[in-house]
Amino acid sequence: MIGVFDSGIGGLTVLKDLSAQLPGYDMLYLGDTARAPYGSKSADTVSRFTLENVELLLRQDVRLVVLACHTAAGVAMKRLQSTFTVPIFDTVAPAVDSAVAHSRSLRIGVMADRTTVDCGVFPTMILEARPEAKVFLAACPLLVPLTEEGWVKNPLTRMIVKKYLHPLKVRRIDTLILGNPHYTLLSSVIQTKIGRRVRIVDSAACVSTRLRRYLTAHPDLDRTLTKSGRIRLVFTDLTPQIEKAVEHILAPSLPLESSADIRQLPPT
């Protein structure tokens, strides 16, 4: 199986894109909703939680992990790769590659939560690829609670997006990376506020493309992945709001198991 991990429900946008680009592949999604959000927590704590969750996935016959959580990728990727032997894909690297490949001015903006901004993963990777690039970061901690509240089309959300984007806009970026899978749900508002001439890089889509290519190049691994089209969703905590969000993001495109029996993880 392909395992997909996120701190909460935002990674469902990544799962949705993966299931569209890799139809038929069995996938297990784990959302650590009991301890979400990660984006305002310390690097140590996020790293510890991420290791625990990836370990849970690997106990379930998962042969390849997609980290749909940018915060987790930003602070724990190296530790994960030195701890586990399965291939681990994150959403940061493919987004950075896409951004530097297409940006003309190399003035690149990144929207992310505070911990992802503070850990510096985006500037580090962008400058590794293109040392002459200029990177501008916007910490946007309210966007996750706003989308989880369902206020995607609310005028107040548009005003908050505008406020967050203002410092990037005045820097005349030509590329904007959405550094959190939740932001995919706000991409049309973000496009409007940042302007049509700025290219938006959606990490969710980038990681799917990379994974598809990787599996074509690694048929031995590909053969070990089961393909009965089964998508399982597991959350460490389940509420009516989460069920509604799952339905909003995924349905009716994905067959879902009953959410009543998905809390199968042992307590931490």
Span 153-172, contacts to a second copy by CB under 8 A: 156, 159-160, 163
Burial of 152 (0-12, 13-18, 19+ CB in 10 A): middle
User: Which residue in the set 7, 13, 19, 33 belongs to the binding site for a second copy (CB under 8 A)?
Assistant: 33
Q: The tokens 């749900």 sit on which residue?
A: 185
**Options 21-29, 32-40, 55-63, 188-196: segment touching a second copy (CB under 8 A):** 32-40
Distance CA 72, CA 76 (A): 6
DSSP 216-253: HH-HHHHHHS--S--EEEEESS--HHHHHHHHHHTTTS
* Tokens coding 66: 């997609």
Shorter beta-carbon distance to a second copy: residue 143 or 176:
143
Choose between 102 and 163: whose C-beta lies nearer to a second copy: 163
**Are 76 and 55 contacting, i.e. CB atoms less than 8 angstroms apart?**
no
Binding mask 108-127 for a second copy (x = CB under 8 A): ------xx------------
Instruction: Please tell me whether residue 55 binds a second copy under the rule CB under 8 A.
Output: no
Instruction: Determine the interface stretch with a second copy among 14-22, 148-156, 191-199, 202-210 (rule: CB under 8 A).
Output: 148-156
Please report how close the Cβ of residue 32 comes to a second copy at its closest, in angstroms. Answer: 10
CA distance 74 to 56: 20
Number of other CB atoms surrounding residue 45 within 10 Å: 13
Residue 233 burial (10 A CB sphere; 0-12, 13-18, 19+) = buried
Q: Binding string to a second copy for residues 222 to 251, with x set by CB under 8 A, is what?
A: --------------xxxx-x----------
Among 45, 188, 192, 224, binds a second copy (CB under 8 A): 45
Cβ partners under 8 Å of residue 262, min gap 6: 232, 233, 234, 235, 238
Burial code (b: 16+ CB inside 10 Å, e: under 16) for 90-128 equals bbbbbbbbbbbeebeebbbbbbbbebbbbbebbbebbbe
Distance between CA atoms of residues 151 and 148, nearest Å:
8
Interaction of residue 141 with a second copy, rule CB under 8 A: yes
Instruction: Identify the residue among 41, 70, 182, 193 touching a second copy (CB under 8 A).
Output: 41
Which range touches a second copy (CB under 8 A), out of 40-48, 130-138, 213-221, 226-234? 40-48
Nearer to a second copy among residue 108 and residue 117 (C-beta): 117
The reply on whether position 259 binds a second copy by CB under 8 A is no
Is 34 one of the binding residues for a second copy (CB under 8 A)? yes
Which residues bind to a second copy, rule: CB under 8 A?
Answer: 33-35, 40-42, 44-45, 48-49, 114-115, 141-142, 145-146, 148-149, 151, 156, 159-160, 163, 236-239, 241, 267-268
